[in-house]
Amino acid sequence: MTNSASIAPEMAPSAFVIMTRIADTFPASPAELIVATGLDRSVVSRHLTALTKEGYLVSEPDPHDGRVALFSPTPEAAVKFGAVSKAKYDWMADAVSHWAQSDVSAFVLLLERFNTSAYGN
């Protein structure tokens, strides 16, 4: 599976987590990223600032609340981190490729239940 060292070796692992989350679900607010990653507010804020300065992210005001910034990947970062998402998807698909469809369905159901219990998603 693709990891931070192969995509962005200079990037801290927690910044990589934030970046892959934004690439998967943008635009994203800092509050959404805090909930999704479980990282501390100061860590998320510091990484968002650095990732923007490094050219990975752009921000724009939230149209519903101009006090909130929404972050999206730059076009180059979207391509790079889109490859990460595809690699994760391919890895998971391969891992369950020999499972019966009913087992995959049960796994998805239980994983959704787990995520709801653990993260409130």
Q: What local confidence, expressed as pLDDT, does residue 19 receive?
A: 94
Per-residue pLDDT tens digits for 75-108: 999 998 888 888 888 998 999 999 999 999 999 9
Per-residue pLDDT at 121 exceeds 80:
no
pLDDT tens figures, 31-76: 999 999 999 999 999 999 999 999 999 999 999 998 999 999 999 9
- Say what the pLDDT of residue 5 is: 58
DSSP string, the chain: ---HHHH-TTS-HHHHHHHHHHHHS-SB-HHHHHHHH---HHHHHHHHHHHHHTTSEEEEEETTEEEEEEEEE-HHHHHHHHHHHHHHHHHHHHHTTTS-HHHHHHHHHHHHHHHHHHH--
